[in-house]
């Protein structure tokens, strides 16, 4: 293990790779050893106290979650890779560990009330699990044909009663218990829609293309929106390059997104497009801070020496100054992007 960690440290200190290195994202870790219920009985009382004392509550009008007081860890912090689901402060300091292993899972998203995590497993099924590691539910069945990077993503409605998710090239919405699963898009002509995100204004953004395509998104992928209740799909980008992984600002007035590797922002109607990270590239899976002043994202920095899984570093950018902060927090593949859930907490399925 010491040899592996030494090689990992050397890899993460390498110089930044060129854009061609992103093609390595297609190598994905498939091992799953969830076993979330291990130790659940032992920590149930402590977890219940932690949840009660440090409840996550919705910030009115923000569509994000906020914490009344910085929570103490509900279970001991994991320090050996893979670390699993963890809340970290904006400077990378661990704040709270969630029980169980999420190895092989992706697209972790905490519910607005802070009680439940939704995620995809490696067979493209949507699950939910309580933050104390109990009551894991499989909400969707077999048949999801989506495969590839930057495709699968779960999104809670602002009130936490519903979850949006992609299924075989369309966007679906279901109740949080898995009932009433229905499509809100109806792609035709080979078109597909992926990676939904839900705004406080009741609009779902996504990206679409005739084919899910290669790592980094196909050249003809664009950002679209659709009402969460279904209806007309609106196209927001028209530039002939890869536009994927949208993220709503807390007020629902702006969208951040990947534009051929760079981090861009536009208004909700598609106007005012501009790049915000002139010195950076490879800004995967952006997520806004609750106050709208910063964006967290992950960037490819190398590959594991064993298995070859892409290593992603968590970073934040201050939108006023364009200053980028590199955190000592890493996940594997762009499928494990961050979620900025409060002013002091970022959720990430952490490797190291």
- Assign residue 78 the CATH number of its domain: 2.120.10.30
- State residue 239's pLDDT score: 92
What is the widest separation between alpha-carbon atoms in the chain?
Answer: 55
222-252 pLDDT, tens digit per residue, is 999 999 999 999 999 999 899 999 999 999 9
How far, in Å, CA of 4 to CA of 20, rounded? 25
165-207 pLDDT, tens digit per residue, is 999 999 999 999 999 999 999 999 889 999 999 999 999 999 9
124-174 pLDDT, tens digit per residue, is 999 999 999 999 999 999 888 887 778 999 999 999 999 999 999 999 999
Q: Is the pTM of this model over 0.75?
A: yes
- State residue 11's pLDDT score: 38
Nearest to 231, CA basis, from 203, 199, 269, 271 = 203
Number of domains in the chain: 1
The answer on pLDDT for 8 being more than 50 is: no
The answer on pLDDT for 217 being more than 60 is: yes
- State residue 159's pLDDT score: 97
- State residue 2's pLDDT score: 37
DSSP category for residue 133 = S
Instruction: Domain of residue 72: give its range.
Output: 2-350
């Amino acid at each position: 293990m010491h040899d592996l960690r030494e090689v990992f440290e050397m890899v993460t200190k390498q110089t930044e790779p060129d854009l061609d290195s992103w093609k390595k994202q297609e190598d994905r870790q498939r091992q799953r050893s969830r076993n979330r219920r291990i130790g659940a009985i032992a920590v149930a009382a402590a977890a219940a106290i932690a949840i009660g004392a440090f409840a996550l509550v919705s910030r009115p009008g923000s569509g994000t979650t906020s914490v009344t007081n910085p929570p103490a860890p509900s279970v001991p912090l994991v320090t050996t890779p893979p670390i699993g689901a963890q809340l970290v402060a904006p400077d990378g300091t661990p704040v709270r560990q969630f029980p169980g292993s999420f190895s092989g899972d992706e697209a972790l998203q905490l519910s607005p009330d802070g009680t439940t995590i939704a995620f995809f497993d490696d067979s493209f099924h949507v699950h939910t699990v309580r933050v104390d590691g109990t009551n894991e539910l499989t909400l969707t069945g077999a048949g999801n044909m989506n495969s590839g990077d930057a495709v699968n993503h779960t999104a809670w409605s602002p009130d936490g009663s519903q979850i949006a998710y992609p299924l075989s090239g369309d966007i679906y919405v279901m109740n949080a218990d898995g009932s009433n699963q229905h499509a809100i898009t109806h792609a035709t002509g080979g078109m597909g829609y992926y990676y939904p995100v839900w705004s406080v204004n009741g609009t779902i953004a996504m990206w679409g293309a005739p084919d899910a395509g290669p790592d980094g998104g196909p050249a003809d992928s664009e950002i679209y929106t659709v009402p969460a209740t279904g209806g007309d799909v609106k196209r927001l980008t028209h530039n002939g390059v890869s536009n994927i992984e949208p993220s709503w600002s807390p007020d629902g007035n702006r969208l951040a997104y990947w534009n051929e590797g760079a981090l861009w922002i536009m208004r909700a109607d598609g106007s005012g497009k501009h790049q915000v990270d002139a010195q950076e590239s490879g800004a995967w899976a952006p997520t806004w801070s609750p106050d709208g002043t910063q964006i967290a994202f992950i960037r490819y920095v190398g590959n594991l020496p064993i298995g070859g899984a892409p290593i992603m570093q968590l970073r934040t950018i201050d939108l006023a100054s364009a200053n980028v902060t590199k955190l000592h927090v890493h996940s594997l593949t762009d499928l494990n992007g961050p979620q900025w859930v409060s002013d002091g907490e970022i959720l990430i399925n952490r490797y190291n």
